[in-house]
Amino acid sequence: MNAYDNALRQLETAAKIMDLNSETLARLSNPEKINQASLPVRMDDGSLNIYQAYRVQYNSARGPYKGGIRFHPQVDLDEVKALSFWMAIKCAVVGIPMGGGKGGVIVDPKKLSQNELERLSRVWIRAFRPVIGPEKDIPAPDVYTTPQIMAWMADEFSQLEGKPSLGVVTGKPLEYGGSKGRGTSTAQGGFYVLEAAVKQLGLPEKDLKVAIQGFGNAGAVMAGLLFEAGYKIVAVADSSSAIYDAAGLDIPELMMHKEETKSVKGFKGAKEINIEELFALEVDVLVPAALENQITKDNAENIKAKILLELANGPTTPEADDILFKNKVVVVPDVLANAGGVTVSYFEWVQNLSNNYWSAEEVDAELRERMIPAWQAIWETGQKYQVNLRTAAFVTALERIDKASRARN
């Protein structure tokens, strides 16, 4: 299973339905530019490690490239290509004037010390400095990259430029050019879309049962928001374990447990299950918030949830999409469900460039104003073409990218 093959199949499906202009389709069938580098990093013990790194600039029809940088041992070029393409679609879905890019480093950051991580982050900027910048390509956090890493990156870029250049990356800490609400924005945007979906499908607004795969920035924040709103989170998984409690997990306590032990494993009162059992639970909402290719043709039939909210990028394969559509599971696709992250990144960039900072209330109101209309447009497109919401989101985004491409050339 290759994420990029999946992405191209999603493109093809939508292109056919909407009869996409053949030149725009050709432009979108390859990245505009692939940047690659070998990053030498001095380890604390004096040895030198070399890490493979990428920055794929997929499409800039609607504006500068935008998208995170992933530090993960399983990064590969095709994954980064897929993720960068999805960023272009995502920005168009929520109507922010940016294109799609993505970066990655093949590394297990859990094995690096803070100093080593800092050196790696700074070397990344030195390697890709010629192709990034506030008007060109603006990276951000992704899997295992943090506000601290963004601060090192913004500082390195600013030092090299010889002037403050905060708009070069987003997802920075609040003390150094970050935006209020950015840390929770991926989950917050997903929460708004979920509320709209629950209403649209006529599900009861209280006591809905939820299972979440992933307990990092997206999954754990989402668990917290849902818990506060009265949802019952019966299962949660992280990269080392999955736990289940029919009575509902106490999420604030689980967060403390994770903080102390680094895992959800062994949480009191919960039973350990495996990830396939988590996917197959009798829940109303299933939230994949980890990596790609989790819901496949081998387990899609088992899913009993009414809504599958993709906080991860690319968690569902095209074959699984077909099975879920046939079984009337409403898949709220990644390019909409997790677009709150890049939306508040865009707000952060606007604040950096104007040097004028917004209140938490302003950020939240603006986020809501992007997410709800995006949901409505995609739902209506889905009804119009009788297709799943992923294809509907692609159709909506491709129309916008196509218009920009053709206006330019």
Chain-centroid distance of CA 385 in Å reads 26
- Enumerate residues 290-319 that contact ligand GLU by CB under 6 A: 313
Question: One of 66, 81, 90, 102 is an active-site residue; which one?
Answer: 102
- Contact characters 249-278, ligand GLU, x per CB under 6 A: ------------------------------
Interaction between residue 66 and ligand GLU (CB under 6 A): yes
Instruction: Please give the backbone phi and psi of residue 187, each rounded to the nearest 5 degrees, phi first.
Output: -70, -40
- Enumerate residues 30-59 that contact ligand GLU by CB under 6 A: none
- Contact characters 156-185, ligand GLU, x per CB under 6 A: --------------xx--------------
> Interface with ligand GLU by CB under 6 A: which range of 11-19, 61-69, 225-233, 292-300?
61-69
Question: Minimal CB distance to ligand GLU: which residue?
Answer: 68
C-beta of residue 313 within 8 angstroms of C-beta of residue 295 = no
102 classed as catalytic:
yes
Dihedral sign for Cα 238, 242, 246, 250, please.
negative
- Enumerate residues 120-149 that contact ligand GLU by CB under 6 A: 140, 142
Amino acid identity, position 259? E
DSSP class per residue in 20-88: --HHHHHHHTS-SEEEEEEEEEE-TTS-EEEEEEEEEEEE-TTSSEE--EEEETT--HHHHHHHHHHHH
How far apart are alpha carbons 58 and 82 in whole angstroms?
9
Tokens of residue 170, six digits: 């987003």
- Enumerate residues 88-127 that contact ligand GLU by CB under 6 A: 90
- Contact characters 317-356, ligand GLU, x per CB under 6 A: ---------------------x--xx--x-----------
Tokens of residue 87, six digits: 């960023």
Which residue ranges make up the site for ligand GLU (CB under 6 A)? 66-68, 90, 140, 142, 170-171, 313, 338, 341-342, 345
Which residues have a catalytic role annotated?
102
